[in-house]
């Protein structure tokens, strides 16, 4: 665990993670922010104490990061090159990578009968794990914030409507999704399952697996309101992106090793920057 519970106080660890997330609505980006602070610190143990971080976990992350970088270099990629880091501050691209890597672990947050519901990719209701930044958390108001019996307990936060990509499901008193990140709809349309277009209902859908409703066995899909043209355009963009990425994988050190290496790649990059400007998940 990256964030530790001092004296067994799990709420303390969750609060530290929320601070590290900096409003990104992402457990993954919270860990990135915490690691960046740790790696740049002149007193890393002090930083761990200040941020509720596990020093051993930070060291493991650093070693794994070095190993992955070495593997990329051995494959011919240049992770330190300017072109590879030109848009390192665009967290929308990180959200897209998470969707591509974790799909079909995507949940949809909606409101029904005045109640927020989270449904996983099989249509089963789940809850965001309380250790996550997208979970509701308790505040103490009108009293001692350290837990006085005179304080009035209220809840803040909680998942906002939209989509969450998640690392895993765990079942205890209920089924929870852990390590979640809010992602824009377009990221799932581009990096999710098979696309479907329904002209009659003017909607676009993404296959997410098999539904558990009614005994299971039926295909489960996330549906988005949109014109048929929207679905067609995303299908075309998927094909273009797959083509330029395949070229990069074949010869990482060549001219086509990045999207900047060809006019086709640059056009794809321009479209991606329009869809994912780096404004988080506000632009749905």
The parent domain of residue 46 ranges over: 1-74
pLDDT for residue 212: 58
Tens-place pLDDT, residues 157-177:
678 899 999 999 999 989 999
Quick one: pLDDT band at residue 145, thresholds 50, 70, 90? Answer: very low
Report which of residues 96 and 215 the model is more confident about. 96
Residues 10 and 91 in one domain: no
Q: Looking at the structure, tell me whether residues 137 and 269 fall in a common domain.
A: yes
pLDDT at 156 over 80: no
35 in the same domain as 154? no
112 shares a domain with 217: yes
Residue 112 sits in the same domain as residue 227: yes
Residue 283 belongs to some domain of the structure: no
Claim to verify: residue 129 and residue 210 sit in the same structural domain: yes
Render pLDDT for 164-215 as a digit per residue (tens, 0 to 9).
999 999 999 899 999 999 999 999 999 999 999 999 999 999 999 766 555 5
* Domain finish residue from 13, 43, 74: 74
What does the longest C-alpha to C-alpha distance in the chain come to? 67
Judged against a pLDDT cut of 80, whether residue 234 lies above it is answered with: yes
**Domain shared by 81 and 127, yes or no:** yes
Among 41, 74, 107, residue at a domain's last position? 74
Is the residue at 206 inside a domain? yes
**How sure is the predictor about 86, in pLDDT bands with cuts at 50, 70 and 90?**
confident
pLDDT tens-digit map of 41-58: 999 999 999 999 999 999
Is the pLDDT at 75 greater than 70? The verdict is yes
Q: Considering the entire predicted model, what is its pTM?
A: 0.87
Q: Are residues 34 and 109 in the same domain?
A: no
Q: Looking at 53, 74, 95, which one is the last position of a domain?
A: 74
Same domain assignment for residues 9 and 93:
no
| Same domain, residue pair 174 and 40 | no
Q: What is the pLDDT of residue 280?
A: 59
Backbone angles phi, psi at 118, to 5 degrees: -115, 120
pLDDT on residue 79: 87
Burial class for 271, CB neighbours closer than 10 Å (0-12, 13-18, 19+): middle
Mean pLDDT calculated for residue range 57-75: 95
Q: Are residues 89 and 44 in the same domain?
A: no
């Amino acid at each position: 665990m990256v964030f530790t519970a001092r004296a067994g106080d799990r709420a303390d660890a969750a609060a530290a993670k929320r601070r590290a997330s900096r409003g990104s609505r992402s457990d993954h980006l919270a860990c990135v922010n915490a690691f960046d602070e740790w790696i740049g610190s002149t007193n890393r143990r002090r930083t761990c104490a200040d941020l509720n971080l596990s020093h051993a976990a930070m060291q493991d992350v650093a070693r794994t990061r070095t190993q992955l970088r070495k593997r990329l270099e051995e494959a011919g990629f240049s992770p330190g090159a300017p072109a590879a880091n030109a848009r390192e501050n665009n967290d929308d691209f990180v959200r897209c990578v998470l969707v591509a890597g974790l799909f079909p672990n995507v949940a949809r947050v909606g409101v029904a009968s005045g109640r927020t519901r989270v449904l996983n990719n099989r249509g089963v209701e789940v809850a965001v794990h309380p250790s996550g930044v997208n979970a509701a958390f308790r505040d103490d108001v009108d009293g001692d914030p350290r837990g006085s019996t005179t304080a009035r307990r209220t809840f803040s936060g909680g998942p906002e409507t939209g989509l969450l990509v998640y690392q895993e499901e765990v079942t205890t008193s209920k089924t929870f999704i852990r390590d979640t990140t809010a992602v824009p709809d377009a990221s799932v349309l581009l990096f999710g399952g098979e696309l479907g277009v329904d002209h009659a209902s003017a909607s676009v859908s993404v296959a997410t697996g098999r539904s558990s409703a009614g005994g299971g066995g039926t295909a489960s899909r996330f549906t988005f309101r949109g014109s048929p043209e929207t679905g067609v355009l995303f299908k075309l963009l998927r094909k273009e992106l797959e083509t330029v990425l395949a070229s990069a994988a074949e010869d990482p050190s060549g001219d086509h090793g990045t999207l900047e290496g060809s006019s086709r790649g640059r056009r794809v990059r321009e479209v991606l920057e329009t869809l994912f400007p780096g404004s988080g998940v506000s632009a749905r």
